[in-house]
């Protein structure tokens, strides 16, 4: 009997929510084996929502390394008769998935919006096209955050990985944290994005960041203001930036160029605030306010703070 391998990720003492989402998807497809790799990840790893959990908890796995992690996964695949591997489309998943697929000579489907026994749907052209497939052969799949509800932890069987961990010629020296308290765009339930309507970078700091902070949201940006150097590229939403699918997306002072729409139109609910009634963003928004953003955003922030 073949099984599905879910690769989970620890975030401190907790298992990442995306990993629980992937576990829930896998449970609908067959027998599931979970794997969590890292250093001091056993407490978090045991929370993964799969019936069987393998923990690879080792000093050598402290930082993500594609060569080491691929080796651990391929040993587990061999021992457990795995025919599908599922993981979250995180920065690790999107990096590790292809390398595992190359090692195993399997197919790869990245950043899927739908996954199940009926097949997979992934976005192409920044979400402007959806591509459906139903592979017969073995496949490695990464699944986008917020596409599915999270699975609940349960007490399954736990074992420790006892195979080899190879040496690697790359070495992580440190992790530099971004600005404190910032929520990662691709993991956020709410995203507050600003565009050229803000007029200058100071207004991004004065209006977008505080509103994001009140909502415990991630701060996003249009390409125009990233190219202008107001904020770093890590904030950019759209075709040459990140694709986000939060429950709630605020587009503030963003006209809605097609490249931007591609990166956010999969959001569950979109709010647009713009003074130009003809701005294309209103064509995709669930709720629009046609007004000067400087009149609306301070009121919005103060009402949300209460």
- Within 49-88, the residues that bind another protein by CB under 8 A are 63-67, 70
**In whole angstroms, what is the distance from residue 147 CA to residue 117 CA?**
16
- By the rule CB under 8 A, 1 interacts with another protein: no
**In whole angstroms, what is the distance from residue 83 CA to residue 165 CA?**
22
Give the residue, chosen from 139, 192, 212, 219, that forms a contact with another protein under the rule CB under 8 A.
139
Confirm if 71 and 165 have CB atoms less than 8 A apart. Answer: yes
- By the rule CB under 8 A, 13 interacts with another protein: no
Confirm if 72 and 103 have CB atoms less than 8 A apart. Answer: no
- 135 vs 156 by CB, closer to another protein: 135
**In whole angstroms, what is the distance from residue 167 CA to residue 60 CA?**
8
The tokens describing 161, both together, are: 């990985």
The site map against another protein for 15-54 (x = CB under 8 A) is ----------------------------------------
| Stretch binding another protein (CB under 8 A), from 53-61, 147-155, 181-189, 195-203 | 181-189
CB neighbours of 82 closer than 8 A, spacing ≥ 6? Answer: 2, 3, 4, 5, 33, 76
- By the rule CB under 8 A, 304 interacts with another protein: yes
Least CB distance from residue 150 to another protein, whole Å?
Answer: 17
Give the residue, chosen from 117, 134, 162, 164, that forms a contact with another protein under the rule CB under 8 A.
134
CB neighbours of 294 closer than 8 A, spacing ≥ 6? Answer: 203, 207
Give the residue, chosen from 116, 135, 156, 210, that forms a contact with another protein under the rule CB under 8 A.
135
Least CB distance from residue 147 to another protein, whole Å?
Answer: 13
**In whole angstroms, what is the distance from residue 61 CA to residue 47 CA?**
19
**In whole angstroms, what is the distance from residue 129 CA to residue 153 CA?**
35
- By the rule CB under 8 A, 216 interacts with another protein: no
Give the residue, chosen from 107, 116, 201, 210, that forms a contact with another protein under the rule CB under 8 A.
107
Give the residue, chosen from 117, 155, 164, 169, that forms a contact with another protein under the rule CB under 8 A.
169
């Amino acid at each position: 009997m073949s099984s599905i391998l879910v690769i989970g990720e620890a975030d401190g003492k907790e298992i990442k929510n995306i990993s629980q989402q992937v576990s829930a998807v896998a449970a609908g497809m067959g027998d599931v084996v979970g794997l969590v790799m890292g250093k001091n990840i056993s407490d978090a790893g045991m929370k993964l929502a799969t019936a069987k959990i393998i923990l690879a908890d080792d000093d050598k796995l402290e930082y993500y390394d594609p060569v080491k992690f691929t080796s651990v996964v391929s040993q587990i695949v061999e021992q457990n008769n795995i025919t599908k591997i599922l993981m979250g489309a995180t920065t690790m998943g999107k990096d590790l998935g292809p390398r595992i697929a190359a090692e195993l000579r399997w197919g790869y489907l990245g950043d899927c919006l739908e996954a199940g026994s009926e097949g997979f749907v992934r976005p192409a052209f920044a979400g402007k096209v959806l591509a459906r497939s139903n592979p017969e052969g073995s496949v490695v799949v990464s699944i986008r955050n917020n596409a599915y509800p999270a699975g609940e932890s349960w007490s399954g069987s736990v074992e420790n990985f006892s195979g080899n961990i190879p040496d690697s010629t790359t070495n992580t020296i440190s992790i530099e944290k971004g600005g404190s308290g910032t929520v990662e765009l691709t993991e956020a339930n709410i995203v507050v994005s600003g565009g050229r309507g803000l007029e200058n970078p100071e207004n991004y700091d004065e209006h977008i960041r505080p509103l994001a902070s009140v909502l415990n949201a991630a701060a996003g940006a249009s390409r125009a203001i990233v190219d202008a150097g107001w904020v770093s590229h890590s904030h950019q939403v759209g075709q040459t930036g990140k694709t986000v699918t939060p429950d709630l997306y605020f587009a503030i002072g963003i006209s809605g160029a097609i490249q931007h729409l591609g990166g956010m139109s999969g959001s569950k609910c979109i709010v647009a605030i713009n003074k130009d009634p003809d701005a294309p963003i209103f064509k995709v928004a669930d709720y629009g306010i046609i007004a000067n953003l400087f009149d609306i955003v301070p009121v919005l922030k103060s009402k949300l703070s209460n």
